[in-house]
A and B are shown apart, each in its own frame.
Chain A
Amino acid sequence: MPDPIFEARNISKRFGPVRALNEVSIAIGAGELHSIIGENGAGKSTLMNIFCGRLRPDTGALLIDRQPVHFSSPKQAAAAGIAIAPQEINLVPALSVAENIMLGAQIGARICGGAVIDWKATRAEAIRHLHEVDDQIDPASRVGDLSKAQQQLVQIARAAATDARILILDEPTATLTHRETARLFDYIRSFKARGHSIFYISHRLDEVKALSDRITVLRDGALAGTLDPATATREEMVTLMAGRPPSAMRQEPRRIPGDAPVVLKVTGLTRPGEFQDLSFSLRKGEILGVSGLIGSGRTEMAKCLFGLTRATAGEIEYFGQKTRFTSPLQAIQAGLIYLPEERKQEGIFPLLSIVENAAMPSMARFRGLLAMRNREMLAEVMDYIALLKTRIGSPRDAITTLSGGNQQKVIIARWLMRDAKVLIMDEPTRGIDVNAKFEIQAVLRRLTEERGLSIILISSEMEEVLDVADRILVMHEGRARGIVDAAGESQESLLKLAMT
């Protein structure tokens, strides 16, 4: 191993009762690409946020060239040569690409001590950094007008523009096309060739294996192991990440009988700019997985089915009836429910209790003469809480006392109480730890079998779709690339279907 230029020793970090990182030690050498892999919630982002000065560790030390350093702001980390291109887009949409790249680092003209910006030099510098990463983006266009993938690339150029010698790339390829990915990898190689180092975070294990000099696996905030990319197999990586072999967490493949009634039939559904000519059907008791990258139109399709947006063409048949929901209320009344991706922002009422969160849309049923029939409401909520094996303290506790997985179950209970017939779930297990994820997947299976629920499961994790779904709709750039039986497909075959 080369001499480390950056080292983290025994880093621990708590958020309230949650131990996000526990005694994690990691080092990186000059010219090295060190991949950090782990499930959602394993602590990767927390660790990277500590490296780049956004968070401070509770205990532990950071060392650069063997000298201890303390970052109290991202600016200090940047000054020490560490820059991050975070996974979430963090740009100013109203400003131009060039200005975003040079934000806070504009080149000053010689007058007024650099307070006045030398636009010509600033733009030239921005373009130089942008072209290292991508040469298709117009530096003068507004960031808000770019695609998600292009914004991701601008963000990487932004990080590169700080002249960092350690770059943290958090899921850089999640939204990129093949061409953009290849181009990015070229940049990564040239960056390494200059003797600089990269911490690389990705869910794409084949990518990790191909690029890395070293792989570190995090699980539940602690080091789970270090792997040599030359010899490590995918199976080994997954086993280390999950804490048990992948085969132990699979749902049994099953086949929905061909005579099961079709509950939802979509033909030629189109909303320009979002999705084109989508056709599929959903049977009673079936789970239809929807696979595709962010920006493939999956969420847009779900919002349209739910009545949040209007399609310009196409037909929707719901239980044999031609339907076009014009508002979420209509869809909910008909039993078609959409569970949004941003659970925190769009799903829960953080100030209210578990009971209230579960019963919110069903309140009308518990109306008494003068007051709510609270006891009945509580009893019914508890039935569903038990059915879904939700672990709660008191049902009167605030919903925010629960873990992400249990919150998700409360939300599922909410819609079961409203007599849901079709659930559209958008990334239901994102940000939930491995075991809770497995439990939710099992619950979804059980609901389809015991209650005849039909589910459309939207997920970026191909593994999840392959495990849970009966059939898979593969989407790319707003179009359906095919519908396949989940049994007999692999991540590779799905990717191939999406990209070709």
Chain B
Amino acid sequence: MVPFLACIVLFLFGLYAVLLKRNIIKIIIGFSIMEYAVNLFFAFAGFKREALAPIITDVGMVRNFVDPLPQALVLTSIVIALATTALMLALAMRIYEKYKTFDIAEIRRLKG
């Protein structure tokens, strides 16, 4: 139970950075923290005591594996996180070119 709650606390730290930081780069770091928190959660969800990594190296092996599915899910969510982080950084670069700042308080040409 404790590791799961720790993941949620980590998630909230990331959310704090996203919602309250003014620097775009720090917001992006906040997203990374949230993604790691969820990935960690998946890894904990698949954990089994005294189990092996889910790799078959021999045909007649005893199969006491940890749940391999969360690892596949984490891999997928890492790929998505990679795509979103790259897109966010690209947007941040273009925004810096236009506004010459990373401070979201100064990036306010849109009303509302």
Q: Indicate, yes or no, whether A interacts with B.
A: no
B contact residues vs A (CB 8 Å cutoff): none
A contact residues vs B (CB 8 Å cutoff): none
